[in-house]
Chain A
Amino acid sequence: MSQLTVTASPHVRAPGSVKRVMWAVVIAMLPAFAGSVWFFGWRALMLVGLAIASAVLFDGLFQKMFGRKVTVTDGSAVITGMLLAFNLPPGVPWWIPVVGSAFAVIVVKQFFGGLGHNFVNPALAARAFLVVSWPGHMTAMWLAPRGGTLSGLDAVTTATPLGVLKNAAEIVGPSGDAAGFLAQAQSWPVVGKLFLGNVGGCLGETSALLLIIGGLLLILFHGIIDWRIPAGYIGTVLVLSLILPGPKHDLLPYLLYHVFGGGLMLGAFFMATDYVTSPITTKGRWIFAVGCGVLTVVIRLWGGYPEGVSYSILLMNVATPLIDRFTRPRLFGRVKKARA
């Protein structure tokens, strides 16, 4: 008889591993990746490729240099690179994704101990770093997609859809008809473009349809992501857009404009659901999702930026340990303390 192994129970494990989870997420992002290449051409391929390659490279190099186990095949650096690239304007120069990926995996991930220990989403933190370091590159280098315009409106070529919503008065100028312009934006043809993705925006965020396909894949197959986070996040944005004052013209298109325009789908399905930086309990996930939704709408309506998805998620990432602490599950047979 061969040597027997003696370990604590259990002696069997569920199929599935960290690696499988990570690669499933990568696969779920492929439709949106393909969309980005379709809409923005070879540049998209180059930027996403560079971001992935440098994330994997820096991750592996760091682990090698510091004598840690090299785990780059687990796919987590691929996700980080992909997400970072998805959050870049299509017109940025080639070194932006390289610098961003380096920051994401070295500073945000490995400095804190590697996968599982980072307290904010590496891709989002890197995006925030790039925005403050190279604001010109990160907020202005938009490109019109294949078969469309930057804003989704034929007349406007200088603003993204959420920019239109936020800065309508400036775009049309002092003599223009801002109200009429907003009415034009809140129309079914524009909402249709937002849904399909042939509008301006960050590389991977424009097509709500392709992101929803990927997100549903992750929810329905093996429940890799918790449906509560996208549901709570998108639901909150919908409800708040409905009840809060805003540049409303035609209500239903206006609401869908908020949901499909900007980075909400990318954020709700692929970034707010990051295991490491979101709460571990069911109750905590609801709180986290609603918090993301509230912050997003507040930033969109009253903040300095047209879009608030990435900062909302970053802020809620920071709140995650606190949420975890106060949303512990209900103990079986919990004994209520007798009143003194």
Chain B
Amino acid sequence: MLTFRGGVHPKEAKSGTEHKPVEALPLPERVVVPMSQHIGAPSKPVVSKGDEVRTGTLIAEMGGRVSVPCHAPVSGKVADVVEMPHPLSGGTVKAVIIDSDGNDTPDDNIKERPTDRLSPADIVEAIRDAGIVGMGGAGFPTFFKLTPPKDKPIDSLIINGCECEPYLTSDHRVMLEQPDEAIEGTGYLARALGVTDVTIGIEDNKPDAARAMTEAAREAGFRVHSLRTKYPQGAEKQLIKACTGREVPSGGLPMDVGCVVQNIGTAAAARDAVRFQRPLFERVTTVTGPGIAEPRNLRVRVGTPVKSLIDACGGYHGETAKLIMGGPMMGIAVPDDAVPVLKTTSGVLVLDRRSAAELEDRDCIRCGRCIKACPMGLAPQRLYMHILGRRFDEAEKEHVTDCIECGCCAWVCPAKIRLVHHFKFAKSEIAALRKK
């Protein structure tokens, strides 16, 4: 079975939602659309208070070379353009607030077109103008990955259907319910890159999804690879290793080994963007966890407050300890449920007191489990000791900057040391030192 070295097996906890079809959440009355839902420069608002918008109308343009535009998730009136704390990263971000008129009138630009004669450049443009970002969680602008520099030839497109994060089932449902859309979108991505070698990687805990995708991919000739269920199988570098045997060099990018990886949800969004010229303003997300009364998979508009999603799932259950945007291994804990759904919100996870990790740590006992678990071949125990001693140069020499923050080391640690927290800190210190 194809896989990578290291990794862990957290409880999958997907049974609460994996068999539940995606349901559309009723239109929100108000959406808050942050201008930074991606990696790169924030989008620049092109609307102001009082403007009328339709669903899919451009509300913000690209703010730089690595950036994406943003579109109205509902039709209605711009209530305000404000500065607000960023829901995930801290710091402040501009946000466009739109009050829905309840009609969901689509923008005139959204219409089907023939796609046979589109050039790779046309496809890239459509994906860029639709504001598509990596929907697996990282949020890297998709068009940028489709336009690698000339000296980095790409020969392999890998579609990520692993969904290795526990609890999350949104990608699973997309593969089951929209396999043809996802494959059509994959076809556009392959055309944009000019590659014929296309692999779809799916963990073997989703045989139904693998079957549906294999069926849908037959005509196009794309390969579906069944991968061993092991976290983090869906991490970009580990996925490339499992599917192609290639190792992205330390400090490098997938394009250095001729690969581009796109999430399955991104592929489906690309289909809407290329064929229907429909921007990215909604997504499928899993609302789940022991702290949720009735876990569900929901199709939601970007900017919908998380509170509405939770209400739609029967509200909180038990004593709520943590609200997490994303999965339990890499998701980001947020302080309240007013935060909006973003293009990258693959799940909303609520943990109760019993299921949330305990906070108290103790001294390392050198058991070595973190080293066995690390999929990047790092020695987390040693890095931790360097960081405790504030020897950031030593930590850098031992490649702390290669850490992908997957959380395997911290998950497995019997002393409950918050290793990822320490590594994030070390990386920011190293970055600050480099700037000097």
Contacts and interface: CB of A to CB of B under 8 A. Distances in A.
Interface stretch (B58-66, B185-193, B371-379): B371-379
B364 interface: yes
A180 interface: no
A111 B123 CA distance: 67
A339 interface: no
A12 B330 contact: no
A335 B322 contact: no
B398 interface: yes
Interface string A17-28: 110110000000
Interface in B327-386: 328-337, 349, 351, 355-359, 362-368, 371-372, 374-379, 381-382
Interface residues of A, number: 42
Contacts of B247: 332-333
Given A5-B333, A12-B10, A331-B402, A276 B362 contact: no
B320 interface: yes
B322 A4 contact: yes
Interface stretch (B114-122, B197-205, B405-413): B405-413
Nearest to B238: A332
Contacts of A14: 8, 10, 411-414
Among A12, A114, A276, the one with the most B-chain Cβ atoms within 10 Å of its Cβ is A12
Contact of B250 (A1, A281, A329, A335): A335
Given A16-B414, A114-B363, A11 B379 contact: no
B319 interface: yes
B194 to A, nearest CB: 25
A10 interface: yes
A7 to B, nearest CB: 6
A271 to B, nearest CB: 15
A5 B363 contact: no
Nearest to A17: B414
A8 interface: yes
B331 A333 contact: no
B366 A280 contact: yes
B362 A8 contact: no
A116 B432 CA distance: 31
Given A21-B367, A330-B377, A13 B359 contact: no
Contacts of B248: 333
A115 B356 CA distance: 26
B221 interface: no
Given A12-B351, A12-B411, 18 more contacts: A2-B321, A4-B320, A6-B322, A7-B421, A9-B330, A10-B420, A11-B329, A14-B10, A21-B367, A280-B382, A281-B371, A282-B372, A324-B379, A328-B379, A332-B247, A333-B252, A334-B250, A335-B249
24 contacts: A2-B319, A2-B320, A2-B321, A4-B336, A7-B357, A9-B332, A9-B405, A10-B330, A11-B328, A11-B333, A11-B357, A12-B10, A12-B329, A13-B411, A17-B415, A21-B365, A115-B365, A275-B365, A329-B374, A329-B379, A331-B376, A332-B247, A332-B250, A332-B402
